Amino acid sequence: MSGSERLADWTIGAEAIVYQACERCGNLQYFRRSFCAACGAPDPVEKRASGEGTVYATSLVCRAATPETRAHVPYNIVLVDTSEGFRMMAHGDNDLAIGDRVTARFVPFAGRLVPHFTR
């Protein structure tokens, strides 16, 4: 059985960031699975994130490997600690610094929609 319905998120083209919360142990996870990776309980609950967070790390990509991504160079890859408490990779404004409070929007990148954080 499956207790929790899949919410659409940016990885399948929707303007949303989705994470999972385990009802048994409270663990939050960003990479979608049919179980909790901390305690193994089935069917963690899917939740939509607020899109708010803090910059944990940044790397401005100046050399890309495909023609599609090269068109966007330079672009900033960031790790963001969301206000909900999970970490995610996304794009961000090129001048973001570690510790900046940021909010997500969704922008086209290499033929799809990706989360992009701005101050």
Which residues make up the interface to other proteins (CB under 8 A)?
Answer: 11, 30-32, 56-66, 69, 72, 74-75, 77-79, 87-91, 98, 109-110, 112, 114
Q: Considering Cα of 97, then 103, then 107, then 112, what sign does the dihedral take?
A: positive
Nearest to 84 by CA among 8, 21, 11, 16: 21
Q: For residues 104 and 50, give the distance between their C-alpha atoms in angstroms, rounded to a whole number.
A: 8
User: At its nearest, how many Å lie between other proteins and the CB of residue 114?
Assistant: 6
Give the residue with the Cβ less far from other proteins, 37 or 45.
37
Give the residue with the Cβ less far from other proteins, 1 or 18.
18
